Structure formats: structure tokens, C-alpha cells
Structure 1
Amino acid sequence: MEKRSIDLGRCLVRDGKADCHRCEEICPQRAITSHAVDQEACDGCGLCTAVCPAAAIEAPEDYAEALKKTMALTPQVLMCGKASPGGVHCLGFLDRRLLWSLATKRPLSLDISRCESCRPAVFAWLQQEATACNDALARAGKKTIALVHVKPAPPQPKKSRKVERRSFFQALFHSTAEGLQEIAEAQIERSFRFDASAWLREQQAEACELFCGLALRDGCTACGLCTVVCPTGAVVLERGEHAALHFAGASCTGCNLCVLHCPQGALELVPHFAGQRDFPLDR
């Protein structure tokens, strides 16, 4: 299958003050160097997508559509292509924020039973993220994620039937035309860029301790530079009589650009969101 690539127009490398190498550090295949992907080494696990704070990873899979299909299942279960033909190639793109959003809507099950033998690094990552999410769910009094093993569905036997000569050639013509169309579509390279923050906003996810928080020290001049550099719109400045800085924890990816660019050094990202969304500003 096609491998990943990095959109340098979105990657934090475009910002002179940022020094992000999260994708390179997490890649178990050492397939990413200097923000470029070695196509031969990449195995498509998706871990780079999980940690990229700028949604800069382009992949051949539509992760948003995969999550949509998961939400339509009863019961709601996340599984890879080895468990279900309709499953995503690998679950490495998931993180605790996505798991939280799914699990707070409806009971969620996660099948990582094949990951340890298939991709150990993905297995370790998903165990870590699921454990962190379950701890937060338990503290919030919500049902935790169940780890399950989904048996692959047996292949469906092909139905044989007799057809008339005319119907046979009509069916042959249509199947040939459809086959040619499938071949043509297979030649088209598709790539998707999964923006987890945008997906969380669509789901109206509520921030919890699993998300980053913001702290504001004295000295803010309401210059608004933090709102300009924030790639997800997590920081919004309200001017006027009731000037305030507003923070959307569910949208923050922890990229740290707002902190790096604050001329007064008044901002600080904290590892856990504690509920503060509004920061009044003195005139």
C-alpha cells in the first residue's frame, strides 16, 4: 500500500521557533528523517499521525471515515483490518483524546489482540493510551474501554446460478466494464490528512485531564500574536471592555507555538487541562 508523506506547508518546521521531531522520535521503523519519509522503510502503522501536532501527515487511509464507521457499529468497537475487512489498516493513529471522545458517547471496545505480534510498538502505544483514557474515564464515573478479541468473519460462499446465454453476455459486459473502472480507480493515488482537532470539534468533545491546559501569567498586553500562530484556533482573543483570552482545550495539540511566540513570555502550556477556559485581561 502507499506510504505516508509530510506536508511541509503545515509541519511545524515551517516556523522558525519550533523544533518538532515527534514523528521521527516515535517511528519504530526509523523511516522519518529531517521531516521526510523513507517510503521503503515505512510500514504504514500511523503512529506519526497520532503524535503530529499540526495534522501534517498525509496517508492513504481516511481515518475520519474509519472513526465514522466505528461510531455506527453496535456495539462500538475499534479494530484493524485483520479483525474485519472493513477495518483500518492499523490502529496506530489513535490517541487518548480520540478514545476519550468515542468512549464518552457510547461504550467502546478496542481490539488490540493482534497488535503485539504484528506491530509491538503500536501495541505498546495503544496500551499506554487506553490505560490513560481508562483512568480518566474511571475518575469521571464513566464506563471504561473494554479490550476484546474480535473473531474474523468467515468468508461468504459464492452463490452459483444458471443464467441464460443473453444474460451471461450482458453480465460479462457489465463486469468487464466495472473491472476496468476499478483498475482505473486503483491507479489514482489518494491521500488524506487527518486533523484530530477538527474531528474532535465536530464531535463536540469536552476537554478533560487528558488534554493540555493553558496558564496565563502577568504581563499579557493582548497583542493577539498567540491567536495568529495557533494552528487549530484553540486560543481566541476577545477585545473591548471585557477583554479576555479564551482557550479551547479540546482543540489544543500542545504544539507550543503560542508560548514560543508570546513577546511577554506570559503564556505556559500545562500537561493537564484543569477546566480554565477564560482568562480576563486587565486594561
Structure 2
Amino acid sequence: MSHVAFATSAESADLTDDDRQLAAALREHDVTVDPAVWTDDGVDWAAFDAVLVRSCWDYHTRIGEFEDWVTRVSAETTLWNSPSAICWNSHQFYLRDLAGRGVETVSTDYVSGTDTRSLETVLDDNDWREAVVKPAVSAGADHVWRTDRARADSHQERYERLRAHEDILVQRFVPEVHDGQWSLLFADGEYTHALSKRPAAGDFRPQAHLGGTTALETPPPATREAGTAVVDAATAELGETPLYARVDGIEVDDTFTVFTLDLIAPSLGFEHQPAAAGALADAVVERLNRP
């Protein structure tokens, strides 16, 4: 009998609804599942056959500590997703790598900490009237805001405070985001289901804690194919297939345009599609049984 841990944050130590469904599906394969808080120094990670990074939703607030934990745990047991996938995916400049492999990504100016341009200059350089500013290491729309040329000067101090600590992405604001976005889910490279996410009125961020709504929905075939191409591009970049992945994007002029690829701790939407938990459990068991 295999024994795996779901790495969580202290806030979700009792497992999320997603992870309860995945744990139940794994138990049907005689796999024992225990939650374990990633910041708990008392956990013996080597006691598990594998560790799945699941609801470590505070990782971006202590990224150095998290990366050290990833290195330590992967030296003791198997970690999914893999350390290389996690470290690559933790900094959103990975979008540049995906674009280099032909993935259609939202237009982005990658601002490193040494880039001294003003926010207004970044907008001018790209001929953008509106944009979204976000830290390169972020989750859950934390420290993400919308700006435009009229407000760029008043946002400059906020922009400089962020840039002083980390790299930044400035992305062209895409009005279609008001109509919602797609989240496409994959288990071991295979598409399982899709979620349609819509922001609250007057907002552009679809997260539930900001008033957004989520529903199971069937995407157009071209959107599904584009999402698969994103996972294929990540697989080529990493030299391995992620165990689980979520691709977020929107339709712009009939083209699926990627915002993010989450390989670290994505919500997987099993409450909307329970059968997908079984597909991921099958993928976990297949990997556990590999020689």
C-alpha cells in the first residue's frame, strides 16, 4: 500500500474540497493520504512514497523558504509537481518561455528589478492605454491592480515599492476579460475538464474571494486544443509532463490567449467535475507503480 502526503498551508490543514475528493479517489486504489503543512518542521517527509504540492497557497509570500522546502523534500522523497517544474513556474517570467515556443500569451512587458523605467514610460513604450500590474511571484490576484495613462503618475509610488522587492509583469489590459476566462484542467498531460470563470461586476479578477463565479462549461474545440498546446509547450520546456496543470486564458479575436499556467497549487475544480479527481488519481497511481 502506498502512502502519500498532500502538502498544504496552515490555513487549509484539514484539506480543501478538491483534495478531499482526490484523497477519496486515491483510497479506492488503496493509497493512504495524509495532509501535512509544508511549514511544519516536525513532518517526516521521507516517510511518504510521494508528496503532492496541493494547497500551499501562501508559498508566494515566503518564496525563498518555499523553494528551500522543495529542494529539501525532493531529496527525501518524490515530489509532484517536480522541483524543476515548481521553480520554473513560481516566477511568471515563464510566460516568455511559453511565448518562445509559439504559445499565444497576453502582451507583456517583463520589468526586472533593475529596470528604472517609470510606469508611464512602460505604457508609452508599448502604446498601451490600459494595463494590469502584477508581481512576478504571486497567487490569487495578490498585489494585482489595473492602471492607465491617466493614473500612471499617481500609481508610480506603488509601482516603485513593488519593483524594489521583486520583478514585475505589466500586461496589456484586455477588455474581453470582463466576459470571463477559461480554466482548462489537465492530468498527466491529458485534458479532463474546463471551468468558466467570471469576475464580479466592475472587476476584472475572477477569483471567488473577490466575488467571481465559477461554472463547469465545455470550451470550443479550438480552445481545448490551444490549452493542450500550452501543456505540451511546458512539457517541452521542462523535459517532463506535469502531473497536474491548469491553463488560464481568454478568447481574444477568436484566439485563446494565455494569462497563466499553474503547476504549483492550482484549484482543480473537482466539485464541478468529480470524475476528474478519478483521472488524476489514476495518474498518481500509475506514477507510483513505475519501476
Q: Does the alignment reach a TM-score above 0.5? A: no
Point out the structure with max Rg over C-alpha. 1
Q: TM-score, normalised by structure 1?
A: 0.28
Structure possessing the higher relative contact order (Cα contacts under 8 Å, 6 or more residues apart): 2
Q: TM-score, normalised by structure 2?
A: 0.28
